[in-house]
Every structure is written in structure tokens, then in C-alpha cells.
């Protein structure tokens, strides 16, 4: 039987919300630990340059900002365990037991800051070519497609930001959007508006990813069914929304139909002692 280590505060997720909570907890004198299944930084690590974070008027890379968040939290004694793998949360009497990477942790208070993950498109061949031409992170995989043609699927801020980033390395970037106008902010639309190697295919969806061992083309269809055709590309980057990382939570935690955690203005969930912060919460952005 694993004997749990006792903490005043356990935080699940080392993204911006989790590391900020770790900073505040440790500065308040609480014995605090942050557990993350991967590396500290969350979705900051998926962003090349961040221009909208206060205090950095010239922008800062996602990796550097994540490193600064981590350094500041650790400066005040916050423990951070990265690559903890999947976690399990259970409630026993008036405290919580968290298990992760063959270890257990116990606390009366837990903050869930697990964020969200990229939503899959659901088109045929997507799973087959994941990691073999299909990607959800341009910053991670752009170098594999230098001087090649790629598609970006989506019309929000992330899609246009990543299309602009890919344009620096790729021969041509085709943005495929199922509507006739972007839902991205004006600032993000400006990023791609005058790029000569970026073009937009409106009112179109990807029906299938095609190829042998690697992606070779995408099968496209107009949303009104008027046209179907193949577009030869070597890479496809998908940005069609996010899903909340809440699958590990017990049924006693109230979530909305889309999977986001419901909290009050104090960030309290329906379970006493369990809080939620950051992107995993139900909220307006």
C-alpha cells in the first residue's frame, strides 16, 4: 500500500493557471505541489510567440514564458512534478487522494487546472496519419514541412496564428474553413491577410486524409455539395476547437454538457474543497 504524502494544497496541471495557483499557494505559506502529466507550460508550449501577455510589449516565446512561470513558482517553495502521467482523484472522508506515477498525495484542498486539449476533426484517415502528416501543433512539427505545401483547418485565432507561423517555413499554406468568413479576431486576421504564400479555401470541409505511409492529399468538399476534389499536400494542421481535460473527475463534480467544470465566483466546484481554475472552467472568453 502506498502511503500518501500530505500537502496543504495540491494543484493538477502546470499551465498558466496551475503555476499561478502554485505561486500564490506557496507564497501564502502552504505546502504546495503541482502535478502535470507532461511538461510545465500547458498550451503556452504550443505557441511560438505570445504578444498579448502584459509586461512583454515585444512578445515572448511560449517556452520562455513557461520557464519564467515555473521559476517564479519554485522560487517560493512550490514543488512541481512534471511527466507525472495520468492522475486519479478520489475523495476519502474530508480529504482527497491523488495518485500519479506510482505515488500518492493527500490534501484537504485541490485545484483542478488541467486545461483543455485540441479537438479532433473526425475525418476519415485522421487517426491513421496522426504523426505522419496530421498535426495539432505547428510550433512542434513545422520543421518537418519546410518548403512543402500544407493545409490549416479552422477559422479561429489559433488557426490563423499557426498559419502565419507555418508561412515562414512552408512553400504554401492553404487555410480551409467551413464558413465564408473567419471567426478569428481582426488582429489575427491581419497576420495572414498580406502573406503571398497563404491562401484561403472558403465554405469547404476535409472529408478524408489520403496517402500510403505518409499524408499525400486531402479530399475536400464544398459545404453545399457542389464540388469535391483532392488537394495534394504533405501536412495538415487541425484547429477546430478544444475539449476539457475532465475525464478523470468523479461524477460528484458538476460539469456542463460540453465537459467544462462549473464553478461559482470563488472558483469552488460542487465538491467541497475542490476548486477549478483556467481553461478547464465553464466561462466566457
The residues that are catalytic are: 137, 140-141
- 8 Å CB contact between 261 and 255: yes
Identify the three-state secondary structure at position 151. strand
d(CA 128, CA 143): 21
List residues bridging with 152 in a β-sheet: 175, 237
Residues 156, 275, 27, 75: what is their CA dihedral angle, to the nearest 10 degrees? -50
Q: What are phi and psi of 160, to 5 degrees?
A: -75, -35
User: Please, are residues 206 and 122 in contact by the beta-carbon 8 Å criterion?
Assistant: no
Rounded CA gap, 157 and 103, in Å? 39
Nearest-angstrom CA–CA distance, 241 and 279: 12
Amino acid at each position: 500500500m502506498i502511503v500518501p504524502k500530505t500537502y496543504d494544497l495540491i494543484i493538477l496541471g502546470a499551465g498558466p493557471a496551475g503555476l499561478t495557483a502554485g505561486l500564490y499557494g506557496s507564497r501564502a505559506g502552504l505546502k504546495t505541489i503541482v502535478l502535470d502529466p507532461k511538461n510545465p507550460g500547458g498550451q503556452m508550449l504550443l505557441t511560438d510567440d505570445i504578444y498579448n501577455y502584459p509586461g512583454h510589449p515585444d512578445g515572448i516565446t511560449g517556452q520562455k514564458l513557461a520557464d519564467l512561470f515555473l521559476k517564479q513558482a519554485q522560487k517560493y517553495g512550490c514543488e512541481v512534478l512534471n511527466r507525472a502521467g495520468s492522475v486519479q482523484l478520489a475523495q476519502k472522508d474530508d480529504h482527497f487522494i491523488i495518485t500519479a506515477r506510482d505515488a500518492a498525495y493527500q490534501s484537504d484542498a485541490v485545484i483542478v487546472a488541467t486545461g483543455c486539449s485540441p479537438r479532433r476533426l473526425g475525418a476519415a484517415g485522421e487517426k491513421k496519419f496522426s504523426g505522419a502528416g496530421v498535426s495539432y501543433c505547428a510550433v512542434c512539427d513545422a520543421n518537418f514541412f519546410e518548403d512543402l505545401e500544407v493545409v490549416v483547418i479552422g477559422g479561429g485565432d489559433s488557426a490563423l496564428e499557426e498559419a502565419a507561423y507555418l508561412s515562414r517555413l512552408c512553400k504554401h499554406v492553404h487555410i480551409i474553413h467551413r464558413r465564408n468568413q473567419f471567426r478569428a479576431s481582426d488582429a489575427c486576421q491581419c497576420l495572414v491577410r498580406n502573406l503571398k504564400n497563404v491562401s484561403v479555401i472558403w465554405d469547404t470541409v476535409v472529408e478524408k486524409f489520403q496517402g500510403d505511409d505518409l499524408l499525400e492529399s486531402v479530399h475536400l468538399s464544398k459545404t453545399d455539395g457542389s464540388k469535391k476534389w483532392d488537394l495534394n499536400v504533405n501536412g495538415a494542421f487541425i484547429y477546430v476547437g478544444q475539449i476539457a481535460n475532465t475525464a478523470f473527475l468523479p461524477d460528484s463534480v458538476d460539469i456542463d454538457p460540453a465537459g467544462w467544470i462549473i464553478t461559482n465566483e470563488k472558483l469552488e466546484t460542487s465538491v467541497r474543497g475542490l476548486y477549478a481554475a483556467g481553461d478547464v472552467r465553464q466561462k466566457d472568453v
